[in-house]
Chains A and B, each alone.
Chain A
């Protein structure tokens, strides 16, 4: 039997200054190579969940932590942060808050330098990470002079240089224009195809649901739905959760009701081919 790469068991977590828990008895497993989309209303526990996956919670935040989080075989409560950082990379909503070096190259080299790797190894990792995200040409630039989308790519490259097996992204496209957002999401899809396990928090399901293998929905600190994006978006109860259902799904659901069909499309392409007589 294959061990899950992420295993969260009975996780209940309360922030230090808070009276009620932000996560309540969360149980979650992901297999290596999965692309997991995480969604749900604001304040439902998504961000807290992300922080728990790389050990920021409880190691940096304190608070009351019950249950366990094991990533790549390591328990987050008993593993040093630098060990976890080589396995789980966390990308935040606002890249400005993460970048602090004078050049893109220094920024991306920062993590590997702290692992005491050889100079050649560091240089190789930096080149590789920058070319993977497609910003090798920005190597000499200062992160400050880049656009939001480019900054987010720098933040992702900095994590890739640590060669993590898991990338956790907390609304990485929230502040980006649509084309930059699309390019970050497509990058995630490519990285996932190359074997990286991706956990992505995103509200704009129309842009990403077709890329994911699985979709989990948080509400009130709990996982309330867990299944394929089709299972989740086409379920009857999903509308009550206040998440934005893509228009293609709304159209298909309506056609299913009025024509007794069983459409499960997630993209305009899928639905258009069906209507034109080429079922997908």
Chain B
């Protein structure tokens, strides 16, 4: 579905934002890209919808070289939800914001209506349909920007820091939605430094540091690898830290596994 091959990109100056990055993402995968600020996460995802074109290397989306096509065509396949909704929202009302892309893509009025109604309901935005997006709270704006992308039903959805300013309930709801979309066959890529969110909900994790990918694998393996977490300046999930402190042979980010290990340790010491 997505193939990034040895991509290098620099915004000018000495700093290389991406330094020979390669990444394969299959159909209907759910993965997270994590790393400290400036690691290259946002630069990488901007390559996935053609906003940036590689200076070296190649990016293929659904078999198409992003250099050989227009942003408009890739954008239909790859929906990018920005970190700061103020950089994305512009319409007079929430309803118009949601309808914008579909209208541009030439969808029928019936289709537009039904998709917009679905998105308003899915994101609890029905009561705000006639409000200007700019009068909403930070968390609500975030939901509008997500809804406006999901509304036109792209095959691949990329979310840049979707959990900032969201409380636990909204995060759980977001995770449920992403999981559901993923089960329906969408590829979902989440860029985040919310490591607890990743540990709880996302199966595959790509760790970036200083423009390179330093780890890529199952969340339960990558997030408990102490040297990876340390060299990427990430705070480990609390269960990984607890596992290390307990000296567990198989550190884990799963609640039941850690509880099981501790119970065994306590029983052994009671004997």
Residues of A within 8 A of B (CB): 40-43, 93, 147-148, 171, 174-175, 177-180, 182, 203-204, 206-207, 242-244, 246-248, 250-251, 254-255, 258-259, 268-269, 271-272, 275-277
Contacts and interface: CB of A to CB of B under 8 A. Distances in A.
A40 B241 CA distance: 26
Contacts of A244: 167-168, 171, 196
A277 B258 CA distance: 17
A206 B239 CA distance: 11
Contacts of A204: 196
Given A242-B172, A250-B255, A258-B263, 14 more contacts: A42-B167, A171-B165, A178-B235, A179-B234, A203-B168, A204-B196, A206-B196, A243-B167, A244-B196, A251-B259, A255-B263, A268-B238, A275-B246, A275-B262
Contacts of B170: 42
A247 B195 contact: no
Contacts of A93: 138, 165
A248 B266 contact: no
Secondary structure class of chain B's binding surface, majority of residues = helix
Contact of B169 (A171, A242, A272): A242
Nearest to A276: B246
Given A93-B138, A268-B245, A275-B266, A182 B258 contact: no
Interface residues of B, number: 35
14 contacts: A42-B166, A93-B165, A178-B193, A178-B234, A182-B235, A207-B235, A242-B169, A243-B167, A244-B167, A247-B196, A248-B242, A251-B259, A272-B242, A277-B269
Interface of B: 36-37, 137-139, 164-172, 193, 195-196, 233-235, 237-239, 241-242, 245-246, 255, 258-259, 262-263, 265-266, 269
B192 to A, nearest CB: 10
B259 A255 contact: yes
Nearest to B255: A250
The 7 closest A-B pairs by CB, nearest first: A272-B245, A244-B168, A242-B169, A268-B242, A178-B235, A247-B238, A268-B241
A57 to B, nearest CB: 16
Contacts of B262: 251, 255, 275
B165 A243 contact: no
A269 B245 CA distance: 7
Given A182-B235, A244-B196, A272-B246, A203 B167 contact: yes
Nearest to B233: A179
B124 to A, nearest CB: 11
Contact of A177 (B36, B167, B246): B36
B263 A242 contact: no
Contacts of B167: 40-42, 203, 242-244
